[in-house]
Amino acid sequence: MSLIKPHGSDELNPLFVYDSDENEALQKEAKGLPSIVVSSATAANAVMLGGGYFNPLTGYMNKADALSVAKGMKTTSGLFWPVPILNLVKDAGSIKAGTRIALKDPNIEGNPILAVMDVKAVEEFSDAEMALMSQEIYRPSPKEAHPGVEAFNAQGKVCISGPIKVLNFSYFQEEFPDTFRTAVEIRNEIAERGWKKVVAFQTRNPMHLAHEELCHMAMKRLNCDGLVIHMLLGKLKKGDIPAPVRDAAIRKMVELYFPPNSAMVTGYGFDMLYAGPKEAVLHAVFRQNMGATHFIVGRDHAGVGDHYGAFDAQVIFDKEVPAGALKIEIFKADHTAYSKKLNKVVMMCEAPDHVKEDFVLLSGTKVREMLGQGIEPPKEFSRPEVAQILINYYKSLEK
């Protein structure tokens, strides 16, 4: 049995230029091309396109595709795709269709060249179209501001579309050499390990006992050979724990509490959209591209604030993703917590005879407070070895 096929094609087509001579020639050529420093979101899209995660896209979407994807999750040619992949700017200057341009990285000092782009169109979205996309992609609650919508609109309304060739992976490869992996690399490693059934777990936080047990649960119920813990390494919101600390905590957990050759710790370079249901679908697409057959979607997946219902990110797969659009399967998870009655972690929906007091439930805020004071959360909540890494991090903030 071969690995699951990527989305939209038989083979993975990463847009990174792996041939070193060609890469060097393009770097040289790019120095003489008109250039723009792109937004962080555009740079993250380039990294994902480069690594094969956004297969089968060949570059940034034009206006018609972006609006079609926002409204109905498919491009004008009929490819299923959950969110527009755009290069938005405030002003394109003299750039027009037919020009070749260099895209510069906003996240590295000196703005090195990230990619070369052949511009097919330069178009402007109206305010009404930006509002429509904000509404359709993010589905924000009218009661509070949405950080994803704000970040989306801050980029500008001018859309530069066309194919790209990616020349480097921004800061991710250098800052996270042990963790950052392209979809190509993960696919290869899954094949090398001989895994056939593979479940992926998305995280932007350290993993506590409930997350760990959820992964064990999914592996057991799905009869998986392996687990890919796939952590977001890009821009987060204020107060989130930085990637190197999360990485250390997760690696310690895997080393001590997972059998050998059962879990891979990896990361990807992308900025969090906080788009809830639509982002959950995007997460599923690129997990299929990296070779996972199953993907865990839990409560309030990729959510923020009170914008989404607890299970909106699961419902979208049943109600809005057309049958057969994706090959990857979703493992739907409820909130997991330690049951004092059963002395183990359970899915709360599977313990109907429990009341709230039967579970060890701690809010993220409460846990951060405890760790900040050097207090280890209860063993029913966090592994002591993991807690220690986080305590050391919070202590370092005081210096």
Burial class (CB in 10 A: 0-12, 13-18, 19+), 176: buried
> Catalytic site residue 204?
yes
Bin 276: left if φ > 0, else alpha if -120 < ψ < 50, else beta: left
Query: Which H helix or E strand runs over 329?
Result: strand 329-332
DSSP letters spanning 60-100:
E--HHHHHHHHHHSB-TT--B-SS----EES--TT--TT-E
List 204, 221, 251, 368, catalytic entry: 204
**Residue written as token pair 């990285």:** 105
Structure tokens belonging to residue 228: 């890919």
| Sign, Cα dihedral of 160, 161, 167, 172 | positive
User: Catalytic one among 205, 246, 383, 392?
Assistant: 205
For residue 203, CA distances in Å to 6, 26, 92, 118, 268 come to 22, 35, 35, 34, 11
User: 3-state class of 123 per DSSP?
Assistant: strand
CA distance 337 to 371: 19
Region of 39 (left: φ > 0; alpha: ψ -120 to 50; beta: rest) is beta
Beta-carbon count within 10 A of 159 CB: 24
- The residue written with tokens 């865990």 in the block is 296
Helix (H, G, I), strand (E, B) or coil at 253: helix
Compute the chain's Rg from CA coordinates: 21
The answer to whether 121 touches 60, Cβ cutoff 8 Å, is no
Which own/partner pairs from 191-195 qualify as long-range (CB within 8 Å, at least 24 positions apart)?
191/3, 191/291, 193/225, 193/226, 193/261, 193/264, 194/225, 195/224, 195/225, 195/226
The span from the CA of 47 to the CA of 15, in Å, is 9
**In the annotation, is 107 catalytic?**
no
Q: Is 52 left (phi over 0), alpha (psi -120 to 50) or beta?
A: left
Q: Catalytic positions, please?
A: 204-205
